[in-house]
Structure 1
Amino acid sequence: MSIYSLEKLIAETRRIARDYRNATGKPLGGVSGEIAQFDACKQLDLEPVPPGTQGGYDAVGRGKRAGKKIQIKGRVIFDEERSGQRIGQLKLEQEWDSVVLVLMDDHFEPFEIYEAERDEIVAAQEAGQSKRAKRGAMSVAKFKAISQLVWTREFGEENEVWDNRSGS
């Protein structure tokens, strides 16, 4: 057992990742996914699966998401003007119910979390004709278009989910 709380370790990881990018101009590999998993679990009441667990999901829902198997993806947005930003490969062949995308600012702090159900993602992938789409790759813009905004830094977890597809 560590003498540090996980919350304290994640805060230090955010600082190191930010300082590393400022010093080198490159992101510190693998860090954003770990931070995203921590933030999604904390903000959306999810239970992370134990390390080494086989399956295509990173957490299991509690509360209103009880029992739901969720993949968690994270993306740091350093330049909002830059288009074509992608999320990590979606594991379409594995068992999961939804995907959560945690968007973070250049300080590795979350500012929005989106969630898309499996059937929405599969339909979008089938509609995409590119080789990337067939491999489970998707742009951040496409994910946002088919998903629902479920958490924001300003308001926390959304009581009424905002649906990107209908604009409601």
Structure 2
Amino acid sequence: MTENTEARRVRDILATVKPLAAEYYQLTGKPLGVTGEVAEYVAAELLGLELAPPRTKGYDAIRPTPAGPVRVQIKGRAYGEKANRSQRLGTIKRDAACDTVLLVLLDNLNLEPREMWEAPYSAVEARLAVPGSKSRDRGALGVPEFKKLAQRIWPAADTGF
């Protein structure tokens, strides 16, 4: 994302919203509903992605590469010490014009990024197609299940995080 007036304003808004969303979660145990937007922005900032226009069908961002653009579907989850380990990703769009799925895990105390995991869309689709799970039928994978298909891409593996 290029640093312009609009990008600075978005950063300012998120800086205001994140502590409010974290406090709301601490008080109610429910998310405020901004995790996805925060995850998309954090991924764009840290990984150099270009966010797709709102309501783009099948993906949320583009990763420019020498081989051409890679379309990325971004999922965000807030978790922490007391988080339920069986948390699920939001619905993964099926039959999407997408190349990869990125999971951004945010700390539920402050919505700061903790980890990012990426899996090829084809592997995610293949896992969702395995019969025997109502959640998979709805396009949802658990965080641990997704991590088995994925590779941690942030922070770098040698950081000890």
Same fold (TM over 0.5): yes
- SS of 1:127's equivalent in the other structure is coil
Instruction: Say which of 97, 100, 104 aligns to 1:98.
Output: 100
Contact 1:45/1:63 (<8 A) preserved: no
Instruction: Say which of 113, 117, 130 aligns to 1:114.
Output: 117
Q: Taking structure 1 as reference, are residues 22 and 143 closer, same or farther at Cα in structure 2, changes over 3 Å only?
A: same
Contact 1:37/1:72 (<8 A) preserved: yes
Q: Taking structure 1 as reference, are residues 17 and 66 closer, same or farther at Cα in structure 2, changes over 3 Å only?
A: farther
Structure 2: runs of 5 or more not aligned? none
Tell me which amino acid in the other structure corresponds to 1:69.
Answer: R
More strand by share: 1
Q: Distance in 1 between matches of 2:67 and 2:44?
A: 11
Q: Distance in 2 between matches of 1:3 and 1:46?
A: 13
Instruction: Say which of 144, 147, 150 aligns to 1:147.
Output: 150
Q: Distance in 1 between matches of 2:91 and 2:19?
A: 26
Q: Taking structure 1 as reference, are residues 12 and 46 closer, same or farther at Cα in structure 2, changes over 3 Å only?
A: same
Look up the match of 1:164: none
Look up the match of 1:163: none
Q: What displacement does 1:128 show? A: 4.7
Q: Distance in 2 between matches of 1:140 and 1:65?
A: 30
Contact 1:60/1:68 (<8 A) preserved: yes
- Residue identity (%): 36
Q: Taking structure 1 as reference, are residues 2 and 97 closer, same or farther at Cα in structure 2, changes over 3 Å only?
A: closer
Instruction: Say which of 57, 60, 72 aligns to 1:58.
Output: 60
TM-score (norm 2): 0.84
Look up the match of 2:71: 69
Q: Distance in 1 between matches of 2:67 and 2:20?
A: 32
